[in-house]
Amino acid sequence: MKRDYRLRLNSDFERVRREGQAYTSSLVVLVFLRNGLPHSRFGFVINRRLGGAVQRNKIKRRLKEATRLQMETMKPGFDLVFIARQPICQVAYRDIEQTVKNLVARGKLITHLTQWII
């Protein structure tokens, strides 16, 4: 993911968490907030309780890929933070991808609903 599309500052993460809207599933929590930019930025939070560094990096790679594939259909101008939950460690990538699609659709962050199968 390009640098422009990443949330990097702790203050940005905190602002999104404090002021943003949240949607939850059993695998992931999505929190988002308008950012006033012409593009969206994404952040990923994987807690240390989910496993060692290898496990956490695998979860983060899967979440990033599922998000990257949906970027073309998302509305621009939002900061999105994806927070992994415990059950994500035991599920297949397809489940993670479907969860990301569902959360983005529930948040009305997609441009065309006709492309989505929920």
Q: What is the pLDDT of residues 71-108, one digit of tens each?
A: 888 999 999 999 999 999 999 999 999 999 999 999 99
pLDDT for residue 113: 55
Cα end-to-end distance, the chain, whole Å: 25
Q: What is the mean pLDDT of residues 37-63?
A: 95
pTM flag (> 0.85): yes
Q: In the predicted model, what is the mean pLDDT of the chain?
A: 91
Q: Using CB atoms within 10 A of its CB, is residue 89 exposed (0-12), middle (13-18) or buried (19+)?
A: middle
User: Is residue 112 scored above 70 in pLDDT?
Assistant: no
According to DSSP, residue 37 is labeled S
Q: How many angstroms from the chain centroid is the CA of residue 94?
A: 15
pLDDT for residue 4: 87
